[in-house]
Structure 1
């Protein structure tokens, strides 16, 4: 395991403990917007939301790959499959279906906000799987969804993050063209080892979809030629 992966594991573990055991809430886009829709106030959470948006504009969806507790659990689930079956290539969804499903999370995003407005309730928070772990809005439904997320991720890496997470959809909007981007360079030989290890099923050797990349850097760890870099958009290609 290289240094960047060690740092990421430390970050994921720290934020998982912070969100689940040390706070009474899970930092979520809906925790701010839903409260604003219902009560017209956002409180101190708005500061943390602004920080996350700023990080996303600069680094991309680093929250998803380094901080999100549900993303952390989903990763443990799919890596358990890798360990059990000793797979060298992560399972994938049919490409045509995958390209359509990635937009489903935007539907969940919009639907959650509409339901919050018209039903006058914390629509997504009531079913959020992390809400069950934090005891904030824990319900039977959120527990069922948590189990579903873990099982789905066992078979399809980061399934919830790819296709259903409304926070991921929200952050994707701000990471279409972040200041720092993952790029291939002239060292890339198109061997696709990076794609075999990408849990988000991104066609890295063709075109890196920055808004779908969660900055897990599994691709960089897999690359044997040093053909991937994470650098600012002003850097000239080799």
Structure 2
């Protein structure tokens, strides 16, 4: 029953990701959705109805469930996910590639620096795009292309180390209402860790703010040892 439930949950997640990704492509704007909205608001000082609804909805969802936006709705994350899944299928990998733990544990803080720089650039209206000779869309496409290639070798590298949206939502996900936890069924086989694209060591500590709620760990677990509840 649990396997069927997880299968349905993953199907629902894929439908959600695909629908948002199609909308993202049709919109013709390739800037990170949430960052694009924040950028528009901070530069114009205008909070339109759509901005308020989307921004508040993402905040509420994050406070309740954690970083579900990253795992269920982000079009960039969806593309990065397809990239590493392609490598898994091509090379029949049983374990996702990882960086050495000491390097990974330092790099995860880099995204907070990126978020800080983004806020500085936006607040002071620094025209970084003109300086680089690129439009916002062109710059976004370059970053998107580069990190899609990188994600083939290191799953969701952008999400783990560079994404300013991920940094913002991580701060809101320090103590979400619903948490991912290991229960007494866990036998420390570490199957969950092998399938985690965010390189979270679940058997040591479930890092709620780094988890993107993709539930790949729950799908991999054979003992029903991972709960997601209040």
Q: Is the 8 A contact 1:183 1:228 kept in 2?
A: yes
CA-to-partner distance for each residue in 1:174-203, whole Å, 9 max, x for gaps?
111111111100000000000000000001
Q: Name 2:3's counterpart in structure 1.
A: none
Runs of 4+ in 1 over 3 A off after TM superposition: 22-29
Query: Offset at 1:26?
Result: 5.9
Query: Offset at 1:33?
Result: 3.2
Q: Is 1:28 aligned to residue 33 of structure 2?
A: yes
Q: Unpaired segments of 5 or more residues in structure 1?
A: 233-238
Q: Is 1:67 aligned to residue 66 of structure 2?
A: no
Q: Name 1:138's counterpart in structure 2.
A: 137
Q: Name 1:235's counterpart in structure 2.
A: none
Aligned with 1:157: secondary structure? coil
Q: Is the 8 A contact 2:43 2:125 kept in 1?
A: no
Q: Name 2:177's counterpart in structure 1.
A: 179
Distance 1:61 1:19 in 2: 19
Aligned with 2:124: secondary structure? helix
Q: Unpaired segments of 5 or more residues in structure 2?
A: 1-5
- 1:18 counterpart (13, 17, 23): 23
Matches within 5 A, 1:87-236: 87-121=93-127, 137-139=136-138, 141-232=139-230
Q: Is the 8 A contact 1:197 1:222 kept in 2?
A: yes
Query: Offset at 1:21?
Result: 1.5
Q: Is the 8 A contact 2:94 2:194 kept in 1?
A: yes
Q: Name 2:44's counterpart in structure 1.
A: 39
TM-score w.r.t. length of structure 1: 0.87
Q: Which has the higher helix share?
A: 2
Distance 1:24 1:162 in 2: 23
Aligned with 1:90: secondary structure? coil
TM-score w.r.t. length of structure 2: 0.89
